C-alpha cells in the first residue's frame, strides 16, 4: 500500500487547488461568474452605441471601470467566500481536518485555485470592455491594479468566511459594499478601501501616479484578514 | 502500549455537554462505542480523529494530540457520520484526493484509491459521481476514504446507519477483515446488535460519560435484567392479563385505555405466552409494540434514571 509519509505543504496546496477547480468546473458558480464578468463588455457595447461619455477627456469611461471595480464586490465573495464557507458549514471539512495536513493549507489551496479565476473574470471583463469601447487594449497598469484588487478582496473573503462560514458570501458582499462607501468618502478613512485603492492604482483618471500607498493599504487590509483567517482556521473545530 | 488515552477528558459546545470527564484507554482490536443518539459518541470519535480538542483534560492518540500533531493524523482513518461530501467528484476522484491529502504519493494515489474502493465493493461504481449514490454506496465510499492511506487506526462513526440489510452484512464483513488485518478500529452505533456483529469489546457511553466497558455479553446480561415493556392494544386486555399474571417473569401489569402494558424480565417467553393467550381467548389485537426498543430506555435503566419513572 502507500508509503507512510505526511504530504508536503506544497503538494497539499496543489491537491486542494486541483480539487477546488474540479468542483468549480462542475458547478454553477463559474457560469454565473462568467455572466457577471460579461457586464463590462456589455456596457461598453451600450456606451459605444450611444456615444455616451461619462467624463470627457478620459481615455475610458469611468463608468466602465466602476462596473469592473463593482465586480470586486461580487465575485470574490461568490467564489472564495462561498467555497470556504460551504466547506466548513456543510461539514465536508471533516474529511480535511482528519487528514495529516496543515489547516492553513486549506485556505491557501482555495485561494490559489480561486483567486486566478476571479482575476481572469474581472480583469478579462475590463480588458474586453475597453477593447470594445476604445478599440485598443487598456493600460497594463489598470489590469494589474484590478488583479491586485482581486487578490486583496479574495483574501478578505477568505478571512470573513472562516469567521462566519454560514454567511461568508453575504457578509463579504456587505463588507465590500461598505468598502465602496468608505472609498467614496472625502476623508483619509478612504485609504482603507480596497476598491478606492484599486482605482488609485490604475491611475486612469488623472492626478499623481500612486503605487506605494495603494499597495501598502491593500496589503495592510488583506494582511489583517489573512491573519484572522489563518488564526481562525488553525483553531477551528468541525 | 495504549493507542488512545483519554484522561479526565471533557468537551463542551458552549453550555452543551458533549463528553464529560472521560478516562479511558484503548489498546487495540475492534471496539464498539455504544450509546443512544446524543450520548457523546461522535464527540469522542472526533476528538480521537483530531477534529475537536478537549475543553478540559487530555486525549492522546499514539501519545500525541491528534488535533495539533500532523504526524499522528497520518495513522488515523476517519469516516464521519454525516453524508456530506464532495458530491461533484466521482468516487475514484474523491478517494484519490483523500489519498493524496493523506500522504499517498502522486504516482500511487490512483492505484491506492482503486484498491480501497475494491476493498469496499465499489469498483463497479467508482467512475460515477457521488451525488447520485445511495446511502449504502456513500457509506462504502466513506469507508474507502478512511482506508485509502492504509491507516493503523480507524474511526468509523455510525457506518451502518441507513444501510440496507444486504449492504450491512457486506460492510460488517469488510470491517471485520480490516480488524483481522491488524487495524485498531473504533466503531460507533446506537444499535446493540450492529456492534455485536462486529466485536465483543464495547464501551457504553451515555450522557457524555463512559457508563461501562468490557465484554458485550456482560453488558447484554445487564441489559436483559432490565424489565422489558410490551404494550398490547386489544379488545380484551383482561384476558391476556389473566393468562400472564401468575408467570414468574412478569414484573408488572398495567392497564391502559386501549390495552395493557406488561413488564417482563423474559421478553421471548412473554411474546410466546401473549400469542397463546390471544389464540385461546380469541382476542383481537390491534397493535403490539415495545416502548423499550430503543437504547435510551435501557441506558436510563442502567444509570438509575429508569427507577424514577
Chain B neighbors of A7, CB-CB under 8 A: 100-103
pLDDT in tens, A71-125: 999 999 999 999 999 999 988 999 999 999 999 999 999 999 999 999 999 999 9
A interface residues, B as partner, C-beta within 8 Å: 1-7, 11-12, 15-16, 18-19, 22-23, 26-27, 90-92, 94-102, 237-238
- Asked if B299 is an interface residue toward chain A (Cβ–Cβ < 8 A), one would say no
**pLDDT (average), residues B76-100:** 94
Segment B206-219 shows an average pLDDT of 82
Q: A211 or B278: which carries more pLDDT confidence?
A: B278
Mean pLDDT computed over every residue of chain B: 87
Note whether B74 contacts A3, CB cutoff 8 Å.
no
Fold of B4-222: Rossmann fold (3.40.50)
pLDDT digit string (tens) for A157-209? 999 999 999 999 999 999 999 999 998 888 888 888 999 899 888 876 656 66
Comparison of pLDDT for B296 and B25, the residue scoring more:
B25
Q: How far is CA A146 from CA A123, A222, B59, in A?
A: 6, 15, 48
% of chain B with per-residue pLDDT over 90: 53
- Say what the pLDDT of residue A226 is: 96
Q: Which residue bears the cell 471595480?
A: A69
pLDDT surpasses 60 at B150? yes
- Residues paired with B262 in a beta bridge: B230, B253
**What is the least distance, in Å, from the CA of B30 to any CA of chain A?**
20
| B111 φ/ψ angles, rounded to the nearest 5 degrees | -65, -40
H helix runs in chain B, sequence order? 41-49, 70-73, 91-101, 106-119, 135-147, 165-180, 192-196, 216-224, 237-244, 267-281, 295-303
Residue B280, classed as helix, strand or coil, is helix
**Which residues of chain A make contact with B82, given a CB cutoff of 8 A?**
91, 94
Q: Where are the domains of chain A?
A: 9-235
Residues near B13 by beta carbon (within 8 Å), at least 6 away in sequence? none
Classified as helix, coil or strand, B151 is coil
In a mutational test of the A interface, the residue from B16, B78, B86 whose CB has the highest number of chain A CBs within 10 Å is B86
Torsion of CA B1, B144, B136, A22, to 10 degrees: 140
* Per-residue pLDDT, B304: 58
Whole-angstrom distance, CA of residue B59 vs CA of residue B46: 11
Task: With CB atoms and an 8 Å threshold, state whether A94 touches B101.
Answer: no
For residue B303, give the C-alpha cell: 444509570
Task: Using alpha carbons, select from B45, B49, B41, B108 the residue that is nearest to residue B74.
Answer: B49
Give the residue-averaged pLDDT of B8-13.
92
Contacts of A100 in chain B (CB under 8 A): 70-74, 101-103
Look at A28 and B219; give whichever has higher pLDDT: A28
ipTM above 0.95, yes or no: no
Across the interface, whether the CB atoms of A2 and B97 are under 8 A apart is answered no
* This prediction's pTM: 0.81
Of A7, A23, A238, the CB nearest to B101: A7
CA distance A90 to chain B (A): 7
Using a CB-CB distance cutoff of 8 angstroms, which residues of chain A are in contact with residue B51?
A: 94, 97-98, 237-238
Is it the case that residue A57 has pLDDT exceeding 60?
no
Interior angle at CA A130, CA A129 and CA A136, nearest 5: 135
**Among A199, A211, A191, A175, which Cα is nearest to A63's?**
A199
Among the partner residues A11, A12, A91, nearest to B84 by beta-carbon distance: A91
- Measured between CA atoms, the residue of chain A closest to residue B82 is A91
Question: Is residue B70 very low, low, confident or very high in pLDDT (cuts 50, 70, 90)?
Answer: very high
Domain(s) of CATH 3.40.50.300: residues in chain B:
4-222
Cell 389485537 belongs to B285
User: Of A161, A163, A154, whose CA–CA distance to A218 is shortest?
Assistant: A154
- What residue spans in chain B does CATH classification 3.30.70.100 cover? 227-291
Diameter over CA atoms, chain B:
74
* Distance to chain B for A80, nearest Cα, Å: 16
Q: Closest-CA residue in chain B for A102? A: B70
- Average of per-residue pLDDT across B224-236: 81
B102-126 residue pLDDT tens: 999 989 999 999 999 998 889 999 9
pLDDT at B309: 37
Contacts of B97 in chain A (CB under 8 A): 15, 18-19
Question: Residue A101: closest CA among chain B residues belongs to which residue?
Answer: B70
**Topology at the third CATH level for domain B227-291:** Alpha-Beta Plaits (3.30.70)
Residue B18 at interface with chain A, using a CB cutoff of 8 Å? no
* Residue, of B7 and B296, whose pLDDT is higher: B7
CB contact under 8 A, A92 and B86: yes
The pLDDT, as a whole number, for residue B307 is: 42
Say what the pLDDT of residue A1 is: 46
Amino acid at each position: 500500500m502507500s508509503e507512510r509519509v505526511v504530504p508536503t505543504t506544497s503538494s497539499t496546496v496543489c491537491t486542494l487547488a486541483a480539487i477546488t477547480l474540479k468542483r468549480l468546473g462542475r458547478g454553477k458558480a463559474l457560469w454565473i461568474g462568467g455572466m457577471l464578468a460579461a457586464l463590462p463588455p456589455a456596457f461598453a457595447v451600450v456606451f459605444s452605441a450611444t456615444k455616451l461619455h461619462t467624463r470627457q477627456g478620459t481615455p475610458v469611461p469611468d463608468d466602465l471601470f466602476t462596473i469592473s471595480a463593482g465586480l470586486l464586490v461580487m465575485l470574490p465573495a461568490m467564489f472564495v467566500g462561498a467555497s470556504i464557507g460551504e466547506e466548513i458549514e456543510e461539514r465536508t471539512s471533516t474529511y480535511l481536518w482528519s487528514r495529516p495536513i496543515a489547516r492553513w493549507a486549506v485556505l491557501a489551496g482555495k485561494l490559489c485555485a480561486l483567486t486566478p479565476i476571479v482575476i481572469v473574470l474581472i480583469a478579462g471583463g475590463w480588458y474586453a470592455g475597453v477593447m470594445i469601447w476604445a478599440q485598443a487594449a487598456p493600460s497594463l497598469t489598470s489590469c494589474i491594479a484590478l488583479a491586485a484588487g482581486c487578490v486583496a478582496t479574495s483574501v478578505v473573503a477568505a478571512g470573513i468566511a472562516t469567521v462566519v462560514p454560514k454567511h461568508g458570501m453575504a457578509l463579504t458582499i456587505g463588507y465590500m459594499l461598505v468598502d465602496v462607501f468608505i472609498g467614496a468618502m472625502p476623508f483619509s478613512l478612504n485609504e482603507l478601501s480596497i476598491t478606492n485603492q484599486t482605482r488609485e492604482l490604475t491611475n486612469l483618471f488623472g492626478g499623481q501616479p500612486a503605487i506605494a500607498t495603494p499597495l501598502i493599504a491593500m496589503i495592510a487590509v488583506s494582511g489583517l484578514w489573512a491573519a484572522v483567517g489563518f488564526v481562525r482556521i488553525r483553531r477551528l473545530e468541525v | 502500549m495504549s493507542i488512545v488515552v483519554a484522561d479526565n477528558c471533557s468537551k463542551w459546545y458552549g453550555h452543551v455537554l458533549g463528553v464529560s470527564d472521560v478516562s479511558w484507554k484503548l489498546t487495540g482490536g475492534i471496539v464498539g462505542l455504544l450509546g443512544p443518539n446524543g450520548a457523546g459518541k461522535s464527540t469522542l470519535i472526533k476528538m480521537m480523529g483530531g477534529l475537536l480538542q478537549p475543553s478540559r483534560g487530555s486525549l492522546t492518540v499514539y501519545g500525541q494530540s491528534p488535533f495539533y500533531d500532523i504526524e499522528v493524523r497520518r495513522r488515523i482513518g476517519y469516516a464521519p457520520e454525516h453524508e456530506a461530501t464532495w458530491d461533484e467528484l466521482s468516487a475514484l476522484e474523491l478517494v484519490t484526493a483523500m489519498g493524496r491529502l493523506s500522504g499517498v504519493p502522486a504516482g500511487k494515489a490512483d492505484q491506492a484509491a482503486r484498491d480501497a474502493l475494491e476493498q469496499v465493493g465499489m469498483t463497479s461504481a467508482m467512475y460515477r459521481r457521488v451525488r447520485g449514490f445511495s446511502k449504502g454506496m456513500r457509506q462504502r465510499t466513506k469507508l474507502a476514504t478512511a482506508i485509502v492511506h492504509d491507516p493503523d487506526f480507524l474511526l468509523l462513526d455510525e457506518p451502518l446507519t441507513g444501510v440496507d440489510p444486504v449492504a450491512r452484512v457486506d460492510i460488517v464483513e469488510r470491517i471485520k477483515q480490516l480488524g483481522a488485518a491488524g487495524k485498531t478500529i473504533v466503531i460507533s452505533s446506537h444499535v446493540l446488535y450492529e456492534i455485536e456483529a462486529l466485536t465483543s469489546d464495547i464501551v457504553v457511553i451515555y450522557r457524555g460519560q463512559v457508563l461501562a466497558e468490557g465484554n458485550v455479553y456482560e453488558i447484554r446480561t445487564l441489559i436483559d435484567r432490565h424489565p422489558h415493556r410490551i404494550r398490547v392494544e386489544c379488545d380484551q386486555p383482561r384476558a391476556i392479563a389473566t393468562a400472564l399474571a401468575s408467570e414468574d417473569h412478569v414484573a408488572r401489569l398495567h392497564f391502559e385505555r386501549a390495552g395493557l402494558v406488561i413488564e417482563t424480565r423474559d421478553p421471548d417467553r412473554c411474546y410466546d405466552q401473549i400469542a397463546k393467550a390471544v389464540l385461546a381467548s380469541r382476542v383481537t389485537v390491534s397493535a403490539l409494540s415495545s416502548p423499550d426498543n430503543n437504547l435510551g430506555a435501557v441506558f436510563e435503566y442502567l444509570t438509575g434514571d429508569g427507577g424514577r419513572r
